[in-house]
Amino acid sequence: MGLADFAIGLQNAGVTIYSTGGTRKHLEESGVSVEDVADYTGFPEMMDGRVKTLHPKIFGGILGIRDRDDHVDSMEEHDMVPFDLVVVNLYPFAATAARPGATREECVEQIDIGGPSLVRAAAKNHAHVAICTSSEQYGDLLEQIESGGSTLAQRRKLAGEAFEHTASYDRAIADYMQGETLTGEFPSSLHFSLKRKAQLRYGENPHQRAALYVDPSVRSVNLVSARQLNGKELSYNNLLDLDAALEIVRGFAQPAASVIKHNNPCGAATDAKIARACRKALAGDPLSAFGSVLGFNRTVDMETAEMLCEPGLFIEAIVAPDFEAGAVGLLTTKPRWKENVRLMQVGRLDDGPAAFQRRFISGGMLIQDADRLTSVPLQWKTVTETQVADELWDDVSFAWEMVRHVKSNAIVLAKDTSLIGVGAGQMSRVDSVEIAIDKAGDRASGSVLASDAFFPFPDSIESAAEAGVVAVIQPGGSRRDSEVIDACNKHGLPLVLTGRRHFKH
């Protein structure tokens, strides 16, 4: 329901409506009879509309306590109208600040003054006044008024939502102002205003409750704002895995595909065509790929969809910038999992996640810079006698990009810019190496190994060399780096040090 329809309903219910400026004009053009606030207060709008409703006759009519004789006498003495309902749509500050190219002057002009004051006044006096701050409330409010008026419980609920609304509004302004003055340090205090988007069926396990909330401060392409084209309701675990799949593929300029199980990649690849990248990614660990979540950084085309419909595959969900219409039709009609597969359209991918990462712990929250892959090959050092062969550099770079997406201790094996073995979450690094080699099998021969942190001992190098690994990339920094380098030299393995660790916990 729009504002004009709401106002027409109020008028039909016998409500007298007061308004200002552009809103009054809009309502009158819609056939609503409106009293001009300036005529009521005897004071004109001024300063380009900066001062419109900030007047005692407005706020007295809102704040007056109706069952106190002295308040009623004051209202009558000053010819104040006792307002029963206040409807406010605040200036769109957050939307303006988020608009590319918005100037500081434009943003400042969208800082509402009178609106929040009206909201707070009406919410404070909710014993007598109903406050409306969202078009989503119009229908219920109109129904209440047509039925004789709102109850105290209803007005108290509206007041709570109103104060939440103004708090969020002020938070957006404060964040904008602080963003102009902070010089790299973390803010002295943090406040979040999130809005519930969905009640999930359950959490990580069936006995846990769960819900999905929207963070309005996130401007980059994200999963929460994605459009679901098909499938059942997303689960808590689906959302975690889809987010992981999306974060992997957005790190590549080339067409890329990722395969996620339990928040770790079990497959990923790049190629000149998205369909080939998908086939390579699924071949990384075919057994684990059953029941997985897929991510793409290109539109899912018919060739890719046809491949996904091949027998033996089972896909829980897919996230991509877009899907060709024919691909959607095929994925939702041909495979046996057609009715349930969740297809998430996020739009054209941008630079990626927010600058900060947040994580709750008992009693507080940790915040850190996002782990972006800022080191480049020009900053890397090959510290062994054997140099990396030119034809291996694509795999070296691919492996280093992928290892930061795996839970520590993390080891990945890459070949032909595809993930062929993953060792994740082990307490011993050499155990992660052995698991990655076991997953790769015979394919480990000729592959590149990446480690998210340094090797504390040369034992991992011995295992890698025995499996046929042809290059290793890792941060370095161990007291035993020299022993690790010696082991690489013994086996003729080139070792690249990046100088940057990529733990993920």
Helical segments of 13-131, H only: 21-29, 37-41, 56-63, 69-77, 93-98, 104-109, 114-124
Give residue for tokens 């308040």.
71
Sign of CA dihedral 354, 356, 359, 364: negative
Give residue for tokens 């059953």.
290
Q: Identify whether 273 is a catalytic site residue.
A: no
Nearest residue to 60 via CA among 117, 132, 7: 117
N- to C-terminal Cα separation, the chain: 46
Catalytic residue among 26, 71, 262, 334: 262
CA dist 426 → 126, 309, 410, 434 (Å) = 57, 34, 8, 10
Q: Identify whether 491 is a catalytic site residue.
A: no
Token pair listed for 353: 């996640």
Rounded to whole angstroms, how far apart are CA atoms 470 and 4?
Answer: 70
Q: Which residues pair with 496 in a beta bridge?
A: 382, 473
- Within 10 angstroms of residue 436's Cβ, the number of other Cβ atoms is 30
Residues in the chain: 505
Residue partners of 409: CB distance under 8 A and separation at least 6:
423, 425, 426, 427, 428, 429, 431, 432, 451, 452, 453
Catalytic residue among 124, 157, 334, 504: 124
Residue partners of 212: CB distance under 8 A and separation at least 6:
196, 197, 198, 200, 224, 234, 239
Nearest residue to 295 via CA among 331, 242, 371: 242
Q: What 3-state class would DSSP assign to 224?
A: coil
List the catalytic residues.
124, 262
